[in-house]
């Protein structure tokens, strides 16, 4: 829903009814992940997507029906082997869609949820998606408070515990419970939609490559901060896409970020300073943080020199192995923009544990786990 929030918030503010369709579960090669959303206004306007085009027409009709009946519904869409032109996913995947009617007159708490998402505050919704009288019942969970419940204190406690854990990880998905919150039971299915604050990307070094990395970082959904000790180069005019431009010695700024608890396992650190007096103290600290990706620009020779100096400072082989340098995948990139794409590709691959091979050389699921490489035989 975050992707369409800007479009649906005026509907809500204008007290216009709409239907919200959300992907709650996927199987095989489904094109959109859990949490992807599409909304249909009472006037027939559509924003967002749940499948990239395969089933939007059918979901539109389901949304219109939900607006008429004021009842939520869950629908599964797949593709039958004997009728590939029926309504379904041509990719062969399967997705479950929750469609909920939204009436601003009765959903008065939705505005507070929108405000939290806009402000980057951690918040999650937990919605019953089991067919029956409880379908659509919702709980809003924040780290410091909970609004709503499902009528059983044990079930509520179990859902809150799992929702907070998923909010911490920034993940969406379905959890299953017994009627009284028992784990590993299938009486109640609850979809958790976590709106964690955007992950952070810190780009060090106000060079032309950094401008392209900042831009691609924003495209990928990161909150991007550019840092450089040289005031004349670190300006908002040179980096208009950055959320923040900070003039500071990079290692000092990173130390403050660590103490401010701004570094977690989703954080990206891109060291583009290409100057040992900046790089070494910065990397010495960076490689001991929880950051999920640490990359440094430079040649193989520069990389080896860095490793030697960092070893002298006491960093272990395990810590040094976390460094992606030379930074990026081998795309034969030359321009700043190409290099930024190379870096982005490596970030995405490392985040998902992918092998970064061409899909044409692999088998298995495209959107799921890493596929198997195709064997090549001479002939």
User: Are residues 221 and 125 part of one domain?
Assistant: no
Query: At which of 195, 212, 247 does a domain end?
Result: 195
User: Are residues 247 and 184 part of one domain?
Assistant: no
Angstrom distance (rounded) from CA 126 to CA 136: 9
Do the domain assignments include residue 69?
yes
Prediction pTM value: 0.72
User: Are residues 238 and 165 part of one domain?
Assistant: no
User: Are residues 157 and 58 part of one domain?
Assistant: yes
| pLDDT at residue number 39 | 96
User: Are residues 235 and 131 part of one domain?
Assistant: no
Please report which confidence band the pLDDT of residue 150 belongs to, taking 50, 70 and 90 as the band edges.
very high
Backbone angles phi, psi at 255, to 5 degrees: -60, -40
Report the mean per-residue pLDDT for the chain: 89
Do the domain assignments include residue 375?
no
User: Are residues 256 and 161 part of one domain?
Assistant: no
Taking residues 102-118, report their average pLDDT.
91
User: Are residues 215 and 76 part of one domain?
Assistant: no
* Residue 100 confidence (pLDDT) above 90: yes
How many domains, in total, are found in the chain? 2
User: Are residues 129 and 155 part of one domain?
Assistant: yes
Taking residues 98-102, report their average pLDDT.
96
Angstrom distance (rounded) from CA 95 to CA 85: 17
- Give kind and range of the element (H or E) at residue 230: none
Higher pLDDT among residues 274 and 322, named by residue: 322
Query: At which of 172, 195, 218 does a domain end?
Result: 195
User: Are residues 259 and 170 part of one domain?
Assistant: no
User: Are residues 211 and 186 part of one domain?
Assistant: no
CB count within 10 Å of CB 90 equals 15
Both structure tokens of 157: 């406690």
CATH code assigned at 298: 3.40.50.720
By residue range, what is the domain housing residue 327? 200-352
Do the domain assignments include residue 275?
yes
* Residue 256 confidence (pLDDT) above 50: yes
| pLDDT at residue number 120 | 84
Instruction: Find which of 84-88, 225-229, 371-375 is predicted with most confidence, using mean pLDDT.
Output: 225-229
Taking residues 336-357, report their average pLDDT.
92
CA distances from 247 to 55, 267, 282, 319, 350 (A): 49, 20, 15, 28, 29
Both structure tokens of 47: 């924003």
Do the domain assignments include residue 217?
yes
User: Are residues 156 and 18 part of one domain?
Assistant: yes
| pLDDT at residue number 377 | 35
The residues, ordered by sequence, that sit 6+ positions from 48 with a Cβ below 8 Å of its Cβ are 3, 4, 7, 36, 37, 38, 39
Please report which confidence band the pLDDT of residue 140 belongs to, taking 50, 70 and 90 as the band edges.
very high
| pLDDT at residue number 92 | 58
User: Are residues 179 and 65 part of one domain?
Assistant: yes
């Amino acid at each position: 829903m975050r992707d369409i929030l800007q479009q649906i918030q005026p509907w809500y503010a204008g007290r216009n009814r709409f239907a919200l369709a959300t992907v709650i579960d996927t199987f095989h090669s489904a094109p959109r992940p859990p949490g992807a959303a599409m909304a249909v206004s009472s006037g027939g306007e559509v924003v967002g997507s749940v499948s990239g085009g395969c089933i939007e027409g059918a979901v539109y009709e389901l949304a219109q029906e939900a607006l008429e009946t004021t009842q939520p519904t869950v629908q599964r869409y797949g593709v039958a082997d004997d009728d590939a032109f029926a309504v379904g996913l041509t990719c062969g995947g399967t997705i479950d869609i929750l469609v909920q009617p939204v009436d601003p007159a009765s959903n008065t708490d939705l505005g507070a949820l929108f405000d939290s998402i806009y402000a980057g505050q951690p918040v999650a919704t937990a919605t019953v998606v089991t067919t029956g009288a409880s379908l659509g019942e919702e709980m809003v969970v924040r780290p410091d408070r909970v609004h709503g419940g499902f009528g059983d204190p044990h079930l509520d406690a179990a859902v809150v515990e799992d929702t907070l854990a998923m909010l911490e990880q920034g993940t969406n998905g379905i959890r299953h419970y017994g009627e009284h919150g028992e784990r590993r039971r299938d009486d109640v299915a609850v979809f958790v939609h976590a709106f964690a604050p955007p992950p952070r990307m810190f780009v060090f070094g106000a060079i032309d490559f950094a401008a392209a990395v900042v831009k691609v970082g924003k495209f990928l959904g990161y909150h991007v901060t550019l840092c450089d000790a040289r005031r004349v180069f670190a300006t908002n005019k040179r980096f208009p896409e950055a959320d923040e431009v900070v003039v500071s010695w990079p290692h000092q700024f990173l130390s403050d970020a660590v103490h401010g608890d701004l570094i977690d396992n989703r954080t990206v650190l891109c060291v583009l300073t290409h100057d040992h007096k900046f790089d070494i103290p910065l990397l010495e600290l960076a490689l001991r943080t929880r950051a999920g990706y640490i990359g440094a620009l430079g040649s193989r020779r520069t990389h080896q020199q860095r490793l030697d100096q960092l070893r002298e400072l006491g960093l272990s082989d395990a810590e040094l192995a976390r460094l992606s340098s030379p930074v990026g995948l081998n795309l034969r990139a030359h321009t700043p923009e190409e290099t930024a794409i190379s870096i982005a590709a490596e970030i995405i691959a490392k985040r998902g544990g992918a092998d970064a091979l061409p899909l044409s050389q692999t088998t298995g699921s495209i959107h799921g786990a890493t596929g198997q490489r195709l064997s090549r035989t001479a002939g």
